[in-house]
């Protein structure tokens, strides 16, 4: 950590000094959060696909489990990204953001996992119970940004299974290269901030290349990521939990589209929406704004149901499944 150019004065820093942390204590934000209570949750049920599938042995497939949790199957290698299976993304099992839909597949039925890739240590991306279950039930290695390994060590994950990376560093997992790249965010569990690094990730193998944004705001650097690591076949891009108060650290849908264009294109699969209420915007607004921006900019989008597996070489036609959840239960 101390050798990292992004670490100084006991904390990690974004490249841009203007980036700021989430203003959870600001009265104006809290007031807006209360005022939008009726639109932040879908009145109807969120459709979930609960099919158990055999592992894909060839090609490139992505299964979205809700929020930022996804399974990437590349060349038969299975990588679980930011897995959160708990009912709440919170330090408490009794308070904090709660799931708006069921987990599509029980964690013990997920099948073999070669690597668990974590973007940063916030509770909606790094879940202690899920990590401990995966450490016990699988032989997966945990590929994480600098400092996050300390959390895993405290949770009894064996040290030889934890691989930490600075931006630009990576590891081979069964022939698939997993590389940490720059993101613009912050870290912290509890009151301490920025004691661990945050990252986006590139997953590259013979069958294709994947970009996983994790949590990030817009910054001038996506073109460089695309030039060094692209072109990407699919980009899992955060499109939700945005607000004007924290533009530096969370992409909005239009910025997600612009980032994919700067990286050279590829299929955009939206993440970081649908599962937890973390921002004042209406529940379905992220994907609705995304589709408008993508159509304007000529970016291909795939919006799977929670639990759907997408063959990146042949993505399914777009279906507005979220519209049913926006309707109250029992309405026509």
Instruction: Render each residue's pLDDT in the chain as its tens digit; 332 residues.
Output: 999 999 999 999 999 875 555 554 566 666 776 666 678 889 999 999 998 899 999 999 999 999 999 999 999 999 999 999 999 999 988 899 999 999 999 999 999 999 999 999 999 999 999 999 999 999 999 999 999 999 999 999 999 999 999 999 999 999 999 999 999 999 999 888 999 999 999 999 999 999 999 999 999 999 999 999 999 999 999 999 999 888 899 999 999 999 999 999 999 999 999 999 999 999 999 999 999 999 999 999 999 999 999 999 999 999 999 999 987 755 54
- Rounded CA-CA distance 328/43 in Å is 5
In the chain, where the domains are located: 25-89+96-316
The strand pair at 115-117 and 77-81 is best described as parallel
- Rounded CA-CA distance 208/233 in Å is 6
Q: 3-class SS at 133?
A: helix
Task: Specify the long-range contacts of residues 160-163, CB closer than 8 Å, at least 24 apart.
Answer: 161/135
Strands across the sheet containing 200-205: 170-173, 176-181, 200-205, 208-212, 234-238, 267-271
Task: Give the position of tokens 């990286």.
Answer: 263
Q: How many helices (H) and strands (E) does the chain have?
A: 7, 15
Peptide bond before residue 269 is cis, with ω within 30 degrees of 0: no
Note the pTM of the prediction, 2 decimals.
0.95
Assigned token pair, 288 = 């609705």
Q: Does domain 25-89+96-316 match CATH 3.40.190.10?
A: no
Phi then psi for residue 245, to 5 deg, are -70, -20
């Amino acid at each position: 950590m101390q050798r990292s150019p992004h670490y100084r004065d006991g904390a990690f820093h974004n490249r841009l000094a203007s980036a700021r942390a989430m203003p959870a204590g600001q009265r104006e934000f809290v007031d807006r959060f209360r005022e939008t209570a009726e639109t932040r949750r879908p009145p109807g049920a969120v459709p979930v696909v609960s099919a158990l599938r055999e592992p894909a042995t060839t090609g490139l497939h992505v299964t979205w489990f809700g929020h930022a949790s996804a399974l990437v199957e590349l060349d038969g290698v299975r990588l679980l990204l930011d897995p959160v299976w708990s009912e709440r993304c919170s330090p408490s099992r009794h308070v904090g953001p709660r799931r708006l839909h069921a987990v599509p597949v029980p964690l013990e039925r997920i099948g073999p996992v070669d690597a668990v890739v974590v973007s940063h240590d916030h509770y909606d991306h790094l879940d202690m119970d899920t990590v401990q279950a995966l450490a016990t039930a699988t032989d997966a290695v945990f590929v994480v940004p600098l400092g996050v390994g300390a959390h895993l060590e405290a949770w009894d994950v064996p040290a030889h299974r934890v691989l930490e990376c600075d931006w630009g560093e990576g590891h081979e997992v069964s022939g698939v290269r997993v590389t940490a790249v720059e993101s613009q965010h912050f870290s912290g569990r509890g009151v301490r901030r920025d004691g661990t690094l945050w990252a986006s990730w590139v997953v590259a193998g013979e069958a294709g290349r994947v970009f996983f944004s994790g949590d990030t705001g817009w910054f001038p650097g996506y073109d460089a990521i695309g030039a060094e690591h692209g072109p990407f076949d699919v980009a899992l891009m955060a499109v939700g939990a945005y607000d004007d108060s924290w533009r530096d650290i969370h992409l909005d849908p239009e910025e997600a589209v612009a980032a994919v264009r700067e990286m050279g294109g590829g299929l955009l699969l939206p993440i970081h929406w649908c599962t937890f209420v973390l921002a004042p915007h209406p529940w379905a607004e992220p994907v609705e704004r995304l589709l408008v921006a993508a159509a304007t900019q000529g970016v291909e989008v795939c919006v799977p149901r929670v639990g759907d597996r997408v063959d990146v070489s042949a993505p399914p036609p777009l279906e507005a499944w979220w519209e049913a959840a926006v309707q109250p239960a029992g309405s026509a």
